[in-house]
Amino acid sequence: MATEASWTSDEWRTKLLHCCGSRRWVELMFAQRPFASLEDLLAKARTVDAQLGRADWLEAFAAHPEIGTKTQTISTWEAQEQSGAAQAAAATLDELSACNQAYKAKFGYIYIVCATGKSAAEMLAIVQDRLRHSPASELVVAAQEQAKITQIRLTKLLAET
């Protein structure tokens, strides 16, 4: 891919870190270069995802803002991903906030969901269901959601260049 060839090593790492907040994921992906196509990039990301452990996933999760939080520090991508929550009624956001707190208390990290295309009500129903999971099974689900987010962000990364 011509665009990636023009990026410095530091630019690559910064761009990859914006797609997934795990430094180990970034280094493993960086080592996979060059990428022949978007499909190759996405396939290699799935391969790298399979190599991550609990600490790597927790680091990736920590890079996200809490679902439904209105803050000045979220990126354009994060704002787009969470746009369904931005349109929600105050009562729904309050309930989502309470569930976010319960989730973090139970699992030790923020609620991770691929929010793209989901309304606040959908995300609320999902977190309520996931609060019934065991910590071990929820980590698997959260990692799968992070992987979906990463795939979307990698696609956006190449679309913007």
Catalytic residue among 15, 64, 118, 130: 64
- SS3 of 68-95: the string is CCCCCCCCHHHHHHCHHHHCCCHHHHHH
Going by C-alpha positions, the residue among 5, 61, 59 that lies closest to residue 33 is: 5
Count how many Cα atoms sit within 13 Å of the Cα of residue 103 in the half-sphere of its side chain: 26
Cβ(57)–Cβ(23) under 8 Å? no
Could you say which DSSP state residue 133 is in?
A: S
Q: Is 64 a catalytic residue?
A: yes
User: Hey, which residues are catalytic here?
Assistant: 64
